[in-house]
Structure 1
Amino acid sequence: MDYAKLNRRRNCLKGRMNRLCQDLDALIRQPESRIDVKMTLDSISKLLERCQEAQDAVEAVITDDDEIEKETQRWMDFEREIRSARGRAERYLEMNTEPVDSKKSSPNSTSAKLPTWSIPKFTGKVLDFPSFWEQFNAGIHDNAELADVTKFIYLRSLLEGEGLKAIDGYAVTQDNYPIARQALVSRFGNPKRVIEHHIQAIADLRPNRDRTLRELHDELVTHVRSLRALNRDTLGNQFASDIILTLCKRLLPKKILSLWEDKILESEEDPNEVETFF
């Protein structure tokens, strides 16, 4: 990999680290944020390992001694800022020791049960949002034992790319959590936009000899079923059926298409032609 790509990846990771440190500083200014501070510190530790790997990769392709020295100095400055942020958080934790009485439970207890499955990260692809959102709501949002600020931290940790940019301006606070949720739903969960992306995905498909008929079938059926779930059913709507069939038939090998055309000529008009086609 060339220097430009390595440097871009390293800078992207450092940018995420800076945002985490900003979140951490915001949390330590709030009372009763021990759990959230600990979680953010854990995220910083994990991300720092990735930053170090990216830094090592950048330094490995630099041949100029002066440039290596500059890179090393910049990295030391970056590490110093991280240590400073972590130090402030550690002092906050020392000054805000958890009460000894563990008999009383609270909605923000660390014993909150989190989902045992792995929620996939959302990168900003509109067609991935419905599945991601359902899993996040089931595993995190609907968990009454988690405070909203904790849910917000989980939400940010599951976002990347355009998904993260959509809520990047919101500080991690209790009040901003519902606002950030609405921002995501408005941008990626709008039904009309999801419908457009499903139709566009079908239109963008091209004939591909490396793709099996089964793979083509599964991909097309996924889009059609999703459209049906969004009240865009091709059944009973002949015009919509004609559009879907026209888009789908062009993807078939000539031999299969010929067999299909022969079948249509031999049969009466089928009100469920899309279903028959699949």
Structure 2
Amino acid sequence: MSVPFPNEQVTLPHHHGTSTIDQSSQSLCNFDDASLLSQVDLPLFSGSILEFQEFWERFSILIGNKSHIDDATKFPLLKSSLKERALHCIQGLPITYANYHIAVDILRTHFDDRVTTRHVLFTKLASLPACDSAGKQLQVLYKQMYAQIRQFCTYEDDSREYGLGAILLNKLPRHVRSRIYDKTKNQANLTPTALIQLLTDIVRKETTLREMEF
């Protein structure tokens, strides 16, 4: 079968006349899409429940939400983005048009669990190592605490999490806790969000003073 040249138009019969379709341009468009897809740097997901939201948002932007990519093409791209436990969840599904949505449902069932994610984040925050008494590791602890509190609050309103706030406060050096007590007039009950706001101000000032010394 002959293939039309790039500018050749193919005339198809129609009940009320003729309709022309530039088949070669359409083929070139599909070819370009396939070439671009092969160059896309897809995110990888191995099964950590804390990483699923970020993975799925990135995959959706790059592939999942593209209406011009059919599901039969999306499925192998999805499988190529998975490894280890995540891949095992959908390993037995044949790569077909219909199975793409089944695979997505399976992944969401296993890894898009807000209650479990909240519990894992709570445990990670509570398990953060305490800072040394001199505060040499304060910057490291602050960055870990800040990132995890922000992530925790995307899953849970922390307005009643005074217990977690107290746990985190006790991980700080005594001189930092003293400054926080001064700022809050000895207020003992702090949520994680309120604590990290106060700690952010303290860390920034200490960083500025340290830089001025050099």
TM exceeds 0.5? yes
Higher relative helix content: 1
Task: Report the 3-state secondary structure (helix = DSSP H, G, I; strand = E; otherwise coil) of the residue aligned with 2:26.
Answer: coil
Task: Report the 3-state secondary structure (helix = DSSP H, G, I; strand = E; otherwise coil) of the residue aligned with 1:105.
Answer: helix
Note closer, same or farther for the CA distance 1:195–1:148 as it changes in structure 2 (3 Å cut).
same
Give the root-mean-square deviation of aligned CA atoms. 3.2
Asked if 1:257 is matched to 2:177, the reply is yes
Alpha-carbon offset, residue 198 of structure 1: 1.5
Give the Cα separation in 2 of the matches to 1:267 and 1:181: 47
Note closer, same or farther for the CA distance 1:212–1:268 as it changes in structure 2 (3 Å cut).
closer
Task: Report the 3-state secondary structure (helix = DSSP H, G, I; strand = E; otherwise coil) of the residue aligned with 1:154.
Answer: helix
Asked if 2 retains the 8 angstrom alpha-carbon contact of 1:119 and 1:132, the reply is: no
Q: Which residue of 1 aligns with 2:32?
A: 111
Q: 2:166 aligns with which of 228, 240, 246?
A: 246
Give the Cα separation in 2 of the matches to 1:109 and 1:156: 21
Note closer, same or farther for the CA distance 1:218–1:268 as it changes in structure 2 (3 Å cut).
closer
TM-score calculated relative to the size of structure 2: 0.68
Give the Cα separation in 2 of the matches to 1:104 and 1:245: 61
Asked if 2 retains the 8 angstrom alpha-carbon contact of 1:170 and 1:180, the reply is: yes
Alpha-carbon offset, residue 134 of structure 1: 0.2
Alpha-carbon offset, residue 262 of structure 1: 4.3
Give the Cα separation in 2 of the matches to 1:150 and 1:173: 9
Task: Report the 3-state secondary structure (helix = DSSP H, G, I; strand = E; otherwise coil) of the residue aligned with 1:109.
Answer: helix
Higher relative strand content: 2
Q: 1:213 aligns with which of 138, 144, 157?
A: 138
Q: Where does structure 2 lack aligned partners over 5 or more consecutive residues?
A: 5-22, 201-214
Q: 1:276 aligns with which of 188, 198, 204?
A: 198
Q: Where does structure 1 lack aligned partners over 5 or more consecutive residues?
A: 1-96
Task: Report the 3-state secondary structure (helix = DSSP H, G, I; strand = E; otherwise coil) of the residue aligned with 2:69.
Answer: coil
% identity of equivalent residues: 23
Q: How many residues align?
A: 175
Alpha-carbon offset, residue 267 of structure 1: 6.5
Asked if 2 retains the 8 angstrom alpha-carbon contact of 1:122 and 1:158, the reply is: yes
Alpha-carbon offset, residue 188 of structure 1: 0.6
Give the Cα separation in 2 of the matches to 1:175 and 1:215: 47
Task: Report the 3-state secondary structure (helix = DSSP H, G, I; strand = E; otherwise coil) of the residue aligned with 2:108.
Answer: helix
Give the Cα separation in 2 of the matches to 1:198 and 1:255: 27
Asked if 2 retains the 8 angstrom alpha-carbon contact of 1:115 and 1:140, the reply is: no
Asked if 1 retains the 8 angstrom alpha-carbon contact of 2:93 and 2:103, the reply is: yes
Asked if 1 retains the 8 angstrom alpha-carbon contact of 2:43 and 2:55, the reply is: yes
